[in-house]
């Protein structure tokens, strides 16, 4: 379970997160929507421990992410993260991109890591690209590679930070399909997204962020069909 409690985050004077309370249960898919600058991505970075927080707490499976004693490298193995820029490692083949972290972080042998990589690359539909370097892959393929790379760490949770925002429109579908498969397999996911169709069809709950707070949260039917807050209504009217 991921539990966020009274979370405040500042970038210098900028108050980005202004008291976030959230719980994500095992097996749940939470989509986070909202205008750019509303703090959605920052929330993911705080969950992952990439960003420091100023107030409140984040617990992942009862581990306090921001406690001084927490081994973040260990914690991050449980939290797979996929970024807007896919960040493939350009000097490694697709296979090596996926196999590297299992080998040096999880401590698998070379063969075990390779097996894991093969399994995850096939999982995301890149079974024919093992020895290809990222610069020969399309954006959509690179993003699926990034998903496979995160999955190879055998994470309990997957965090998606606008995974399709930087893609050409015709490549968005293949990445969303991959995410959909993960959701159906029961992966616990937090997806910051601008894809309203995805949020509505795949999520168990949808959270609408407005200026650093959770303005409204609930099942997709409720948020999309009968939003209560004026801000939510306005936002949805604009993106439709």
Partner 1 sequence: MFEYNFHWRPVFKSLPDLLEAALTTLQVASLAMTAGILLGFILAVSRMRETGLIYWFATTWVELARNTPALFQLFFFGFGLGALGFHLSPYLIVLAGLTFNTAGYLAENFRGGFEAIPSTQLRAARSLGMNPWQAYTRILIPQVMRIVYYPMTNQFVWVVLMSSLGMLVGYRELTGETQFFASKTYRIFEYFAVTAVIYYVMVKVILVLSKFCASRFFRY
Interface contacts to partner 1, rule CB under 8 A: 48, 50, 73-74, 76-77, 79, 81, 83, 85, 87, 89-91, 93, 100-101, 104-106, 133-135, 146, 149-150, 153
Q: Which is nearer to partner 1, 21 or 61 (CB)?
A: 61
Nearest approach, Cβ of 15 to partner 1 (angstroms)? 23
101 token code pair: 């972290």
SS3 193: coil
Q: Which is nearer to partner 1, 120 or 232 (CB)?
A: 120
Q: Which is nearer to partner 1, 152 or 199 (CB)?
A: 152
- Tell me how far apart the alpha carbons of residues 148 and 209 are, in angstroms, rounded to a whole number: 28
Distances (CA, A) of 156 to 37, 76, 186, 187: 28, 10, 10, 7
Nearest approach, Cβ of 143 to partner 1 (angstroms)? 12
Nearest approach, Cβ of 107 to partner 1 (angstroms)? 11
CB-CB contact of 31 with 176 (8 Å) = no
Name the burial class of residue 195, with classes exposed (0-12), middle (13-18) and buried (19+) by CB atoms within 10 angstroms of its CB. buried
Q: Which is nearer to partner 1, 69 or 238 (CB)?
A: 69
Nearest approach, Cβ of 14 to partner 1 (angstroms)? 19
Nearest approach, Cβ of 120 to partner 1 (angstroms)? 13
Residue 4's contacts (CB-CB under 8 Å, 6 or more residues apart) are 20, 21, 22, 23, 43, 46, 47, 56, 57, 58, 59
Q: Which is nearer to partner 1, 81 or 206 (CB)?
A: 81
């Amino acid at each position: 379970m991921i539990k966020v409690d009274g979370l405040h985050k500042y970038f210098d004077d900028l108050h980005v997160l202004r008291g976030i309370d959230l719980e994500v249960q095992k097996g749940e898919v939470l989509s986070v929507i909202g205008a750019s600058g509303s703090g959605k991505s920052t929330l993911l970075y705080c969950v992952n421990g990439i960003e420091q927080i100023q107030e409140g707490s984040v617990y992942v499976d009862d581990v306090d992410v921001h406690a001084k004693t927490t081994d973040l490298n260990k914690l991050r193995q449980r939290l797979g993260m996929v970024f807007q820029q896919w960040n493939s490692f350009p000097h490694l083949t697709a296979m090596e991109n996926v196999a590297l972290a299992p080998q040096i972080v999880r401590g698998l042998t070379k063969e075990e890591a390779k097996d894991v990589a093969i399994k995850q690359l096939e999982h995301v539909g890149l079974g024919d690209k093992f020895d290809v370097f990222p610069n020969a892959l399309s954006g959509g393929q690179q993003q699926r590679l990034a998903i496979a790379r995160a999955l190879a760490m055998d994470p309990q949770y997957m965090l998606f930070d606008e995974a399709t925002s930087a893609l050409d429109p015709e490549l968005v579908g293949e990445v969303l399909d991959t995410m959909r498969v993960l959701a159906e397999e029961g992966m616990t996911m937090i997806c910051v997204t601008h894809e309203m169709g995805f949020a509505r069809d795949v999520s168990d709950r949808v959270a609408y962020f407005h200026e650093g707070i959770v303005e409204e949260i609930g099942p997709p039917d409720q948020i999309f069909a009968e939003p209560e807050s004026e801000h939510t209504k306005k936002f949805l009217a604009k993106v439709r």
